[in-house]
Structure 1
Amino acid sequence: MSEFDAVAKSYDADFTASLIGRRQRMQVYAHLAPILNTMAGKKILELGCGTGEDAIWLARREFSVTALDASSEMIKIAVKKTEKAGL
C-alpha cells in the first residue's frame, strides 16, 4: 500500500486542478512540447504517473505511453480518466 492511496480520490481536486498544479503543468508542457513534437509515435515510460494527467497529455500527442505508479488507487483513477478520454 502506498501513502498516496489515502489521497488518491481527492488528488485531482486538491492538486491537479489547483492554480499551482495547472501553472506547473503549463510550464512543463510548454518546455516539453517543442522537444516532443519531433518524437511523435515513440514510446514513453512514465514512472509515478499519479492519476494519469501527464500520460493522457502525452497519449493525445500520439505517444505510446506506459504509465506506472506505486499507488493502486492512483492507477485506478488513471485508468478511468484514460477510458473517459477515449484513449
Structure 2
Amino acid sequence: MNNQLTPCYVSEMPGEKARALLIDFAVEAWTHPASPLINGFPAGQESHPRAIVMFETGDVRCVHVNAVQVIGAEGIFSEYAFPKNDGSTSPI
C-alpha cells in the first residue's frame, strides 16, 4: 500500500481553487428503486468515481475526480520512461 499523499488543487465551483492532499481514489455506488411514474426508469445501480482528499483545515472529503488537479504532474511523469513515437497525443 502506498501511503504517499499527493498535493493537488480542488475546484468544485467556478473560480474556486483550494489546496488539498490527494489520499486515494474510490467508487461511490448505490442502488435506487424504480420510478413510481408510468414508463419511468427501472430500479438499478449508479456509480461515480471519487477522489478522497484532505484540505488544509483537516477536513477529509470525497470529491468528483474532475475537480482535482495534481500539482507537479510534470515531475511525476519525468520519473517514468515512455517509448518514443508511441502515437500519444497531448493531454485531453
Shared fold, TM over 0.5: no
Smaller-chain TM-score range? Answer: under 0.3
The two structures have a TM-score, normalised by structure 1, of 0.24
The two structures have a TM-score, normalised by structure 2, of 0.23
- Structure of higher RCO (CA pairs closer than 8 Å, 6+ residues apart): 1
Flag the structure with larger Rg.
Answer: 2
